[in-house]
């Protein structure tokens, strides 16, 4: 998997995060095409400092013309939400253009509760924190995009079938 080394570093650093979006759908067992990695990260200052330092060391930069450190400022994130309608803070890697990481600028669902319900998926030597299926469905319902609605149908059908077994 393209992000396997990133997952290993997140685990080693002790970052509290959840894989959400298309990669989460994949890790729940569905074949789906996706190019980006969507993350919810605990937004407390200590966790964000570790996460942002790790991303900076790995060479990631914000897609928008701001410094990566600005993401740590709650007032700045709030102004991005209100003034620009921002939902995610996109990080790109200049040498790895296929790697796009979108980090939620706020908590679309309570992070602590979702983190408690997360599923741990083994990828290589890493245990990846993946949003639980019910929380993933809730998150996708909030989005309402066509791809998300398709994902919801697939997830609900899969878990309905799984409960019968």
pLDDT in tens, 69-119: 999 999 999 999 999 999 999 999 999 888 899 999 999 999 999 999 999
Q: Where are the beta strands (DSSP E) in the chain?
A: 17-20, 36-41, 61-62, 88-92, 100-104, 119-123, 126-130
38 within domain boundaries: yes
Looking up residue 139, the CATH number of its domain turns out to be: 3.30.460.40
Determine the distance from the C-alpha atom of residue 51 to the mean position of all C-alpha atoms in its chain, rounded to a whole number.
12
Query: Would residue 138 count as lying in a domain?
Result: yes
What's the total number of domains in the chain? 1
Q: Look at residue 161 and tell me if it is in a domain.
A: no
Task: Say what the pLDDT of residue 164 is.
Answer: 43
Q: How confident is the model at residue 2 (pLDDT cuts 50, 70, 90)?
A: confident
The answer to whether residue 36 sits within a structural domain is: yes
Q: Is residue 159 part of a domain?
A: no
Specify if 117 maps to a domain: yes
Residue 160 belongs to a domain: no
Q: Domain for residue 158, yes or no?
A: no
User: Is 141's pLDDT higher than 90?
Assistant: no
Rounded to two decimals, the pTM is 0.87
Domain region containing 138:
4-153
């Amino acid at each position: 998997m393209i992000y396997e080394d990133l997952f290993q570093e997140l685990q080693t650093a002790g970052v509290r995060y959840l894989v959400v979006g298309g990669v989460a759908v994949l890790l729940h067992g569905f074949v789906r095409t996706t190019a980006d990695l969507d993350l919810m990260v605990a937004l407390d200052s200590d966790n964000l400092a570790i996460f942002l330092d790790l991303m900076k060391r790995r060479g990631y930069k914000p897609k928008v013309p701001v410094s990566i450190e600005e993401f740590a400022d709650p007032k700045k994130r709030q102004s991005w939400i209100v003034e620009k309608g921002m939902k995610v803070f996109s990080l790109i890697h200049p040498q790895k253009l296929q790697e796009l990481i979108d980090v939620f600028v706020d908590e679309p669902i309570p992070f602590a509760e979702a983190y408690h319900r997360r599923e741990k998926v083994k990828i290589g030597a890493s245990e990846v924190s993946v949003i639980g299926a019910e929380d993933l469905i809730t998150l996708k319902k909030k989005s309402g995009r066509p791809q998300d609605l398709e994902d919801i149908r697939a997830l609900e059908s899969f878990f309905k079938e799984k409960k019968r077994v």
